[in-house]
Amino acid sequence: DLFQGVHLLLSLSIFTPLSKPFTSALDIPVKFVEKNVKLRGTLHHITEKGLEVEHIPISIPFITSIQRKCLLLVRLAGVELAPSGMAWLQQELKPRQMVWFQLLGRDDLALECLVLVNKGRFLSVCLNEEILRQGLGRTARIEGLHHDSRLYWKLHKRLLRAELRALKKNKGIWKGESYSERIRDRISNNKFVRTLKQFASWLRSSISR
C-alpha cells in the first residue's frame, strides 16, 4: 500500500504540469520550451500581436479543478505577417477552433511557436508555412532558437522553401513583380542577407565538427 501511494504521488508530480491549464507564458516550465513540447488549445482572438489561445491540458479523470480562464499569446515563429495575412487568418480560423502549438521560444509574455490546425481527419497544416506559401508574409528570424542549431536551420529551410514557392507563383505580396525583381528585392533585404550569412557560418561549423 505504501509503495502504491508513493507511486501515485510520483505519477501526479510528473503529470500535474500537463493536467492543469497554463494561464501565462511564464507558467510554462523552461524544460517544456527547451524540449519543444507541443501543446493544444482553443483559439479565442487573432490580433496584431499574435493568436490568443486558451490552453487545454491533458486531462486526468480523477483530477478536477476550477481554473480561471486566461489566454496565452502565441506568435507564428519565423514569420513576418503582412496585413493580408491577418485577414486570411481571420477568414480561415474559426472561434474556439482547436490548435496545436509547438514551443520554440518565449519572449516575456509571448510564445514563439509552430502552429498547426487539423484539416480533415488525417491532415494537419502548419500555419507558419501556409502563410508564406500563400504569399501573405515574409520569413523572419525564429526567435527563441539559437541560430547555429540544427533545429533552427531545419525549420528555417522549411519556411524559406514555402516563401520561395509563393515567389515563383507570384502570389500575395509578390504579385506584380517579375521573378528576378522579387529575388533581387529579397537579396537586398538586410534581414535576408544576415540569414544567408548565418546559414553559411552554421554550415561551415557543422562540416568542421
CATH number belonging to the domain at 2-208, selected among 3.50.50.60, 3.90.180.10, 2.40.50.90, 3.20.20.120 = 2.40.50.90
Retrieve residue 168's grid coordinates: 515563383
Taking the complete model, does pTM exceed 0.85, yes or no? no
Q: pLDDT 10s digit of each residue in the chain, 209 long?
A: 434 433 433 444 444 455 688 999 999 999 999 999 999 999 999 999 999 999 998 765 544 455 567 899 999 999 999 999 999 999 999 989 999 999 999 988 899 999 999 987 778 999 999 999 999 999 999 998 888 889 999 999 999 999 999 999 999 999 876 555 555 565 555 455 566 566 666 656 655 55
Helix (H) or strand (E) holding 126, with range, is: strand 124-126
Q: What are the angstrom distances between the C-alpha of 155 and each of 38, 93, 129, 160?
A: 15, 23, 10, 9
Q: Can you give the residue ranges of every domain in the chain?
A: 2-208
